[in-house]
Amino acid sequence: MPAIKFYSRDPLPMEMHKVKIVQKLNLLPAKERLAKMKEAGFNTFLLHNGDIFMDMLTDSGVNAMSDNMQSAMLRADDAYAGSETFYRMQDKLEEIFGIPYLLPTHQGRACEHILATHFVKPGNCVIMNYHFTTSKAHVTRLGGHVEELVKDEGLISKSNLPFKGNIDMDKVKACVEKEGADNIAYMRLEAGTNLIGGQPISYENMKEATEYAKANGIVTILDASLLQDNLYFIKTREESMKDKSIREITRMIADLFDIIYFSARKFGFGRGGGILVRDEKMFHEMEDYITMFEGFLTYGGMSVKEMEALIIGFEETMDLDVISQGPQFIDHCVRALDAHGIPMITPGGGLGAHIDARAVVSHIPAEQYPAGSLVAALYLCGGIRGMERGTLSEERNPDGSERIASVEMVRLAFPRRVFTLSQTEYVIDRVKWLYDHRDLIGGLRFVHEPKSLRFFTGRLEPVSDWPEKLVAAYEAEFGEDQ
């Protein structure tokens, strides 16, 4: 991305696109937001989108398509079997990653389902730099266990370390020695690490980890769902990569792994997913899972129109101008909030700006879900929908006690090419107001708790009347129509 200089002020992040299609937003008054939050069981996943002003829940499937992506959808080949659209997508992915075999799926967690089903047996260990909710759930569902071996520094909220998603090689070696290489189902590296603030992993760390795994006969898998942000950080933060193009870095990364999978709801700006397999025998061992769980091998549960759009989206991901906006907007938001004294996960990573909820609402006990409370409060005080990433997103221990998360965050996702800088400034303003009134925020407790992935559909209630008090303070500041 070119460094745009300003004559009269310090530089700002610049959108390297123009807006041609818009969607109207709706800002409900605070009292109405309180009513909607109660209806949703204080779970932002259960809010209706029409009741939200700024939807920063996720970047999954809500990114803006380019004009070229939308126009490409018109050429889709709707054949059930042998669709030319599939072969065009397969060719584009092989061009970018150098891996010949593609198993299409409807989204990323379908990839995780198939990979875990194929590789994980009861008692097996899966090594990760850090887990994602569904990647871990699929492993544990099959009787395996996950070892999260991110470096200790990756869990420090405030730092200036460029690659907090790096895996700790001393921990990896100790784990392999303890478990035995034959009991390691696979090593999964996530680029970047969703649940610790979208923090990236360096190329050199991926190279060291995969070389060690291969020397010990361990299958290596890359979760490339957030790869575009990680590519930007490798290009801008890793000294040895600064002269490489995004396309060159992508191929260098791909060459390290046996399997690469992705959610196209993130990588490619569309909706779908895929598993890229280097070995033909391994590919054929897994293809039956596609026809059983997803669809035929040339669509795999995906819309061919989306597949045509993704072909363009994959190519746009190789453009530094395209992939730089998200990280730069996130960095702007993180720096501004940090300057206000608000505890943030630093440095800014990919996917979104992450608030250190444990530090902001330190008066809320861990068992009352501090991040869940803070994310509900943010909707009440601005109509902004974020996502809890903490203890609420964990599953209980076998004895029923809470598994307290190592990090407790509120994520404010920045879908690609969606929000403007003025909307970002609104978010900064409302988070600052909420931080100054954080003592009004209280805890939550479950009234309906699913056994797994409870953060998606669980319902909660406040432990006191704190939401009413918070809304009253907000209305006193901004009026009843805000």
The yes-or-no answer on residue 80 being catalytic is yes
Catalytic residue among 36, 271, 389, 430: 389
CA distance linking residue 193 with residue 15, whole number of Å = 25
Catalytic residue among 80, 87, 141, 481: 80
CA distance linking residue 50 with residue 356, whole number of Å = 28
Residue indicated by tokens 């597949």: 307
Rg of the chain on CA atoms, in Å: 22
The yes-or-no answer on residue 133 being catalytic is yes
Catalytic residue among 265, 266, 305, 416: 266
The yes-or-no answer on residue 265 being catalytic is no
Q: Is 344:353 a contact under the CB 8 Å cutoff?
A: yes
Catalytic residue among 86, 119, 130, 132: 132
Q: Is 269:63 a contact under the CB 8 Å cutoff?
A: yes
Candidates 164, 235, 236, 167; CA nearest to 200 is 164
Q: Is 47:459 a contact under the CB 8 Å cutoff?
A: no
Widest Cα–Cα separation across the chain: 66
CA distance linking residue 28 with residue 381, whole number of Å = 11
Q: Is 372:392 a contact under the CB 8 Å cutoff?
A: yes
Question: Terminus-to-terminus CA distance in the chain, angstroms?
Answer: 37
Phi, psi (deg, nearest 5) at residue 129: -70, -40
CA distance linking residue 388 with residue 42, whole number of Å = 11
Name the pairing type of β-strands 259-263 and 220-223. Answer: parallel
Catalytic residue among 44, 58, 85, 133: 133
Q: Is 168:147 a contact under the CB 8 Å cutoff?
A: no
Candidates 192, 109, 107, 177; CA nearest to 147 is 177
Contacts of 385 (CB under 8 A, 6+ apart): 44, 47, 52, 54, 55, 56, 57, 379
**Summary count for the chain: helices (H), strands (E):** 18, 14
CA distance linking residue 388 with residue 171, whole number of Å = 28
The yes-or-no answer on residue 296 being catalytic is no
Catalytic residue among 257, 299, 455, 474: 455
CA distance linking residue 82 with residue 52, whole number of Å = 41
CA distance linking residue 415 with residue 407, whole number of Å = 23
Q: Is the peptide bond before 327 cis (omega within 30 degrees of 0)?
A: no
Catalytic residue among 51, 59, 168, 223: 223
The yes-or-no answer on residue 389 being catalytic is yes
The yes-or-no answer on residue 266 being catalytic is yes
The yes-or-no answer on residue 262 being catalytic is no
From residue 27, give the alpha-carbon distance in Å to each of 32, 431, 482.
10, 16, 7
Q: Is 421:12 a contact under the CB 8 Å cutoff?
A: yes
Active site residues: 80, 132-133, 223, 266, 389, 455
